[in-house]
Amino acid sequence: MKIAVDLDGTISEYPEFFRVFCKAMREAGCRIYVVTDRPEGTEDVVAEQLEGYGVTYDVIKVTGEKSRYISEEGIEVLFDDVDEYFRDLPEDVAVFKVRQKYNFDFVRKNWI
C-alpha cells in the first residue's frame, strides 16, 4: 500500500504519532510518501526536518499539485490538513484530515 503524508500541519503537528506510524507501516510493507507543498528544490530542508522528527519514509515529493501526483503514483491514502488537496482525488483514495485551529471551530464544534 502506498501512503502519502503531508508535512506542514500534519507531521509537524504530530511528529511522535507519524514517527511510530510511518515506521510500523513501512515494516508492514507500505511505502511512505511525504508530499509537501513547499517551494521547489527544498527537498534537503524537508529531509532534515523529517530526520529531526525521526520520521522514516521512502519518497519526498515537493509539489503544489498533490492530487495529480497522488493519482499518477497510484497512492491509496492521504493524510493532510487542507481540503484543497482532497478535492480532485479519485473516490477510491482514502483521506484522513488532520484537525487544526484553522480548519476546525472548537467553539461550535464543526469543521470550517
Is residue 81 at the binding interface for Mg ion, with CB under 5 A as the rule? yes
Give the residue with the Cβ less far from Mg ion, 28 or 43: 43
| Nearest approach, Cβ of residue 71 and Mg ion (Å) | 19
Helices 43-53 and 15-27: crossing angle in degrees, nearest 10, is: 90
Give the residue with the Cβ less far from Mg ion, 8 or 43: 8
Q: What share of the chain is helix, strand, coil (3-state, %, to 5)?
A: 35, 25, 40
Do 59 and 31 meet the contact criterion of CB atoms below 8 Å apart? yes
Residues in 7-26 that interact with Mg ion by CB under 5 A: 8-9
Q: What is the DSSP letter of 58?
A: S
**Binding residues for Mg ion, per CB under 5 A?**
6, 8-9, 81
